[in-house]
């Protein structure tokens, strides 16, 4: 990563800039912290997220003691050049010091919200759950039942749900299209997960097919 962009950044009077850590796979905001110039330089040099602690008045590497490292895939700057985003891979999937996957696990009413994924993170979060089910095979789980019946059965169910989705589409029944598509996506994702294919790789392939637009 090129360090030249650091000269463009507008640090505050304390020499700090807000940094949003956004997950590469799910798109969720994992945490928000501050960085000084040295922290950003260290991030560029090592490929792992570094921040500056205002309370301890020192540089810190995320996950250095806990193992919850953040591998930085990309750094982005906002239009005013006074905020930065680290696009990260959260290596152990828990970014918050409380043990939660991200620091924004409550809404303004104080309700726990991480069990209700937002639309843009749903498929990735579902795949995380499917991996866990495949590894642990909990009793009473529909996923466990299908996995025990074998891959051919999973593919068969995907085929059945695909046909039902096709019928709903042909009938132009929007309610049924939504319902059957959800069933189809679940079985498709289970088949991918069974084979060890991360949905991110498919989304990356789709991303590569976007028309490239030159920017200054």
Are 73 and 147 contained in the same domain?
no
CATH, residue 58: 3.10.20.810
Q: How many residues does the chain have?
A: 216
pLDDT of residue 4: 85
Distance, in Å, from the CA atom of 174 to the CA atom of 95, rounded to the nearest integer, reads 38
Are 81 and 158 contained in the same domain?
no
Residue 100 inside a domain? The answer is: no
pLDDT at 1 over 70: no
> What is the mean predicted confidence (pLDDT) over 123-146?
98
Are 86 and 123 contained in the same domain?
no
Q: DSSP letter at 115?
A: T
Q: Which two tokens stand for residue 215?
A: 């920017």
Residue 33 inside a domain? The answer is: yes
Are 138 and 85 contained in the same domain?
no
Residue 134 inside a domain? The answer is: yes
Least confident range of 17-21, 160-164, 165-169, 207-211: 207-211
Residue 168 inside a domain? The answer is: yes
Are 69 and 124 contained in the same domain?
no
Q: Left if phi > 0, otherwise alpha if psi is -120 to 50, otherwise beta: which for 172?
A: left
Distance, in Å, from the CA atom of 30 to the CA atom of 15, rounded to the nearest integer, reads 23
Burial class (CB in 10 A: 0-12, 13-18, 19+), 209: exposed
Distance, in Å, from the CA atom of 189 to the CA atom of 187, rounded to the nearest integer, reads 5
What tens digit of pLDDT does each residue of 153-177 get?
999 999 999 999 999 999 999 999 9
Residue 108 inside a domain? The answer is: no
Is residue 153 a contact partner of residue 146, using CB atoms and an 8 Å limit?
A: yes
* pLDDT category of residue 211 using cuts at 50, 70 and 90: confident
Residue 13 inside a domain? The answer is: yes
Are 146 and 189 contained in the same domain?
yes
Are 40 and 82 contained in the same domain?
yes
Angle between helices 199-208 and 122-136 (to 10 degrees): 150
Are 138 and 181 contained in the same domain?
yes
Residue 140 inside a domain? The answer is: yes
Structural domains in the chain (count): 2
Q: Is the pTM of this model over 0.95?
A: no
Check residues 215 and 66 and name the one with the higher pLDDT: 66
> What is the mean predicted confidence (pLDDT) over 108-131?
97
Query: Which domain, by its residues, includes 29?
Result: 3-90
pLDDT at 216 over 60: no
Residue 150 inside a domain? The answer is: yes
Distance, in Å, from the CA atom of 183 to the CA atom of 95, rounded to the nearest integer, reads 31
CATH, residue 177: 1.10.287.1080
pLDDT at 26 over 90: yes
Q: Which two tokens stand for residue 25?
A: 């796979």
């Amino acid at each position: 990563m090129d360090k030249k962009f650091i000269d463009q950044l507008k640090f505050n009077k304390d020499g700090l800039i807000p940094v949003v850590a956004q997950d590469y796979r799910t798109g969720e905001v994992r945490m928000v912290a501050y960085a000084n110039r040295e922290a950003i330089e260290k991030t560029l040099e090592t490929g792992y997220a570094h921040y500056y602690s205002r309370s301890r008045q020192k540089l810190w590497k995320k996950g250095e003691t806990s193992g919850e490292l953040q591998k930085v895939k990309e750094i982005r700057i906002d239009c005013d050049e006074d905020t930065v985003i680290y696009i990260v891979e959260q290596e152990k999937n828990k970014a918050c010091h409380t043990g939660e996957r991200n620091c924004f696990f409550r809404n303004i009413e104080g309700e726990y919200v991480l069990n209700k994924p937002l639309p843009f993170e749903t498929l990735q979060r579902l795949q995380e759950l499917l991996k866990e089910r495949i590894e642990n095979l909990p009793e009473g789980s529909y996923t466990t039942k299908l996995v025990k019946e074998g891959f051919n059965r999973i593919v068969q169910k995907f085929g059945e749900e695909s046909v039902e989705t096709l019928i709903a589409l042909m009938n132009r029944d929007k309610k049924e299209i939504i319902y059957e598509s959800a069933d189809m996506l679940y079985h498709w994702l289970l088949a991918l997960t069974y084979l060890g294919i991360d949905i991110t790789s498919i989304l990356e392939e789709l991303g590569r097919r976007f028309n490239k637009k030159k920017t200054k």
